[in-house]
Amino acid sequence: MNKTTRVMPAHKHIALVAHDNYKPELLRWVKENKDALQGHFLYATGTTGRILSKETGLAIKSLLSGPMGGDQQLGALISEGKIDMMIFFWDPLNAVPHDPDVKALLRIATVWNVPVAMNRASAKFMISAPQMAEEVSIEIPDYDAYLADRV
């Protein structure tokens, strides 16, 4: 597929997601990075969003709970170019009933070249990167060209 670019703004749109066993870990990370996150637009799946907002006071757009469609809502936002990066503390040791939705979310993030941190170390690198406060161009699939070729 042909590629084009999209510009991530200096004020990023950041998705925050955590499986049940990792919600406390994500909360701790958000508290530690509250100042850095404050200048960005934050989104989260249902329960995670409510916990983070209540405990930190950050403005967070809460979607549905992951198993109820929140993962798919995030995937739609990614495919629309409305999410710039995702912090997803997932549980690699416990199966979740909505595992196909989780895999679909990670797949769509990869398709649209969205940076994804899946643990504290990668989240620390992402939030500390100088690009967090800058406009950044990324390559994405040229969907318009793809459609034009198919019609």
Known catalytic residue at 71? yes
Distance between CA atoms of 48 and 114, rounded to whole angstroms? 20
Of 71, 142, 144, 149, catalytic: 71
Catalytic residues: 71
